[in-house]
Amino acid sequence: MAGYETTITNPELTGENVAFADAPEQATRVLPDPKPADKHGWWWGTGRRKTAVARVRLRPAKDGEGSLKIQITRKQFKTVEDYFSEPRDRNDAYAPLKVTDTLGKLDVFVRTHGGGYMGQSQAIRLGISRALVGYDPNFEQALRDAGYLTRDARKVERKKYGQPGARARFQFSKR
């Protein structure tokens, strides 16, 4: 497989430093081949946020009605509505599927641990986005424009020794 070809029209690329054989106003970008699924037919993605980690696997829905489930134990699953009580967290979990218009077309299973609910929901969002890019590289631009492929690296600052907190200091007294 040689990869996908996408035509990009960009007036900035028509300068003297860029030369094209057939059309000077259009650049053709060759997207990488989609990552093949593993031997069981799954595409994987890992998402992290603060101390939360989400391992996501997805595949095309077999019965035509896809779902997003969070795996609690080996055989126990919960829906996103049962797992997250806040609508903000539910929307974070569904956001990449809505952007790529694949909601209901894929079976998505998530294992998550660590952190709190908000960190887990944002880790799920990143994991689903990464798995979707492996499934179809054409989704990358839409997910990147929405900001779903960028890992939020903010974490809690560590507490320093000899101080009551990460930034807090004991009150200074000259006398």
Within 10 angstroms of residue 94's Cβ, the number of other Cβ atoms is 17
pLDDT digit string, tens, across residues 66-76: 999 999 999 99
Residue 111: how many other CB atoms lie within 10 Å: 14
Q: Are 135 and 42 in contact (CB under 8 A)?
A: no
Cβ-contact 11, 25 below 8 angstroms = yes
* Residue 12: band (very low, low, confident or very high) from pLDDT cuts 50, 70, 90: low
Which one of 3.30.230.10, 2.40.37.10, 3.40.50.300, 3.30.70.20 gives the CATH number of domain 37-146?
3.30.230.10
pLDDT tens-digit series, residues 88-110: 999 999 999 999 999 999 999 99
At residue 58, the pLDDT reads 94
Cβ-Cβ contacts under 8 Å for 121 (sequence gap 6 or more): 84, 88, 89, 90, 92, 93
pLDDT-based confidence at 38, cuts 50/70/90?
confident
For residue 64, the number of C-alpha atoms closer than 13 Å in the C-beta half-sphere is 0
User: What residue segments make up the domains of the chain, in order of their start?
Assistant: 1-33, 37-146
Range name among 36-40, 44-48, 161-165 with the lowest pLDDT average = 36-40
Which amino acid, one-letter code, is at 62?
A: K
